Amino acid sequence: MLYFIYNADAGKWNGYMDMLHKIVSPKTYPCHLCDITYGVFKIRPEWDAFLKSQSDELVFLHRDEWQKDAAFVEEQLPAIFEVREGKSSVALSAQDMSEMDLAELMAWVEGRRKSNEAR
């Protein structure tokens, strides 16, 4: 299972503040995962369609919703973690994700799915 952890907090107020931040100062917005998968007001249509086509379990959490594994307390967010057989690992770091656009993220998820099917 892949856990996508946003570098943003949950809740309406936080969502409004994120929208404002994206409008006023998009270059300083701290969550690249949010930035490439959501526009200012809603999910990007191509990401929405991609997610609906996925059969794998993909879990999306805000940083304040994520029960941090002790091994990853210091991990920079956003990041994607994989939980397999009760063990967690960083599947995609914030640094690696920061260099991706939406098409590359979708290709990464698809590639991960195919490699897991081969196992």
Where is average pLDDT lowest: 22-36, 59-73, 96-110?
59-73
Which token pair is 4?
A: 């996508």
Rounded CA separation 13/88 (Å): 31
Place of tokens 């299972």: 1
pLDDT at 70 over 60: no
Percent of the chain with pLDDT over 70: 92
- The predicted model gives 64-90 an average pLDDT of 81
79: CB partners within 8 A, 6+ apart: 5, 72, 90, 91, 92, 93, 94, 97
* Structural domain boundaries in the chain: 2-118
119 — pLDDT class (breaks 50, 70, 90): low
